[in-house]
Copies of this chain bind each other. A is one copy, B any other.
């Protein structure tokens, strides 16, 4: 009898492949049936003890050449695939996940302002509300440049309890007044679920800061309001974590969420955070939500504004956020990064030189 050749052995492998295929699908169909029964009986789909029992049985039956470790690893993959299938309908419930290539959430705001409609929106204003005069000066410049969305930050999350913590409700009142004067919508950072009713009197967009990105109590509460939410990525959060945080809000009923990339903490020395511009196309691939880029807290310095503005627009983002102040060196927070008025006007001119792509990736 002749020796087997590579060719002949490969034919045998091909045949086994098809048998494995059939069995895997048969198994999947059974698992799906079990899943439906479990769901109807209110049981969770994932049953680690059942999996442990199956693995034990397989290891006892295993005669090699695959080791028990390899068999366990392979079957764990099969279990996982089956579970994934069972969860498919469940998964359809992941609200923030992109379902089709051209699904894009458009956030509609008062005064006809939109985010995510293909335009490149500018959100601008001082780091913090410091006085009416300061806000009024900023508002005038913003309005003259056609900005529609104004920062009106009245509660400042600060690392130190001894730093300026914001003007509080008084600041919200100023922000609202200035926004109305210049026909803009206003966004403000909320720190705690207990502030929601008060904020609803003043602001058009709620802002969740990096430090609260995984505050599930606050996120769940924001799932119950009617205003849109800007969700700022924590400087050490993965994109998956950011999307799950958005899901905390969306699964509660409020899917009007804007994701914000703002730089991540790395070993770099020249910048406050490292702008992770790749996050824009990646978030767009994964989710239908609008994505904007914070070019102030990423760079942490004024002289990168033009470059970061161009980059943000070229990346396919739906807009950018930038801090502007009448006299940045004496600002009560983020003095190094807020733009002088002239710099802000230069930025607005600069970003006009770059085309926003229709598709981010």
A4 within 8 A of B: yes
Also in contact, A63 and B25, with CB within 8 A (given A161-B251, A329-B48): yes
A34 near B18 with CB under 8 A, answer no
A25 near B161 with CB under 8 A, answer no
Also in contact, A4 and B33, with CB within 8 A (given A74-B78, A244-B161, A311-B314): yes
A21 within 8 A of B: yes
List A residues 225-275 near B (Cβ within 8 Å): 234-236, 238-241, 244-245, 247-248, 251, 264-271, 274-275
A12 within 8 A of B: yes
A23 contacts across to B, CB distance below 8 A: 16, 19-20, 23
A107 within 8 A of B: no
Closest-CB distance, A282 to chain B (whole angstroms): 5
A109 within 8 A of B: no
A16 near B38 with CB under 8 A, answer no
A18 near B61 with CB under 8 A, answer yes
- A135-143, A173-181, A188-196, A337-345: which lies at the interface: A188-196
- A113-121, A199-207, A211-219: which lies at the interface: A211-219
Distance in angstroms between the alpha carbons of A157 and B219 in the assembled complex: 12
- From A265, which residue of chain B is reached at the shortest CB distance? B267
A224 within 8 A of B: no
A168 within 8 A of B: no
Q: How large is the interface on A (under 10, 10 to 19, 20 to 34, 35 or more residues)?
A: 35 or more
A269 near B248 with CB under 8 A, answer no
Also in contact, A66 and B85, with CB within 8 A (given A23-B19, A266-B264): yes
- A97-105, A145-153, A352-360: which lies at the interface: A352-360
Distance in angstroms between the alpha carbons of A267 and B263 in the assembled complex: 13
Distance in angstroms between the alpha carbons of A85 and B65 in the assembled complex: 8
In the complex, per-residue mask of A31-74: 1 if CB is within 8 Å of any chain B CB, else 0: 11110011001000000111010100110011111100011011
Also in contact, A6 and B38, with CB within 8 A (given A74-B24, A215-B211): yes
B214 near A159 with CB under 8 A, answer yes
- A192 is contacted by which of B5, B193, B303 (Cβ under 8 Å)? B193
A335 within 8 A of B: yes
Q: Which among A18, A64, A85, A159 has the highest number of chain B CB atoms within 10 Å?
A: A159
A287 within 8 A of B: no
In the complex, per-residue mask of A62-93: 1 if CB is within 8 Å of any chain B CB, else 0: 11111000110111011001001100001000
- From A18, which residue of chain B is reached at the shortest CB distance? B61
Residue positions of A touching B, CB distance < 8 A: 4-6, 9-10, 12-14, 16-21, 23-34, 37-38, 41, 48-50, 52, 54, 57-58, 61-66, 70-71, 73-75, 77-78, 81, 84-85, 90, 157-162, 165, 191-194, 211-212, 214-218, 220, 234-236, 238-241, 244-245, 247-248, 251, 264-271, 274-278, 280-282, 285, 298-299, 303-304, 306-308, 310-311, 313-316, 329-330, 335, 350, 353-355, 357, 360-361
| A and B contact pairs by CB, cutoff 8 A, 23 listed | A4-B33, A16-B30, A17-B58, A18-B58, A25-B63, A28-B66, A65-B85, A66-B85, A70-B81, A157-B216, A159-B214, A159-B241, A161-B248, A192-B217, A192-B218, A235-B236, A238-B268, A270-B282, A271-B278, A278-B298, A285-B303, A310-B315, A353-B357
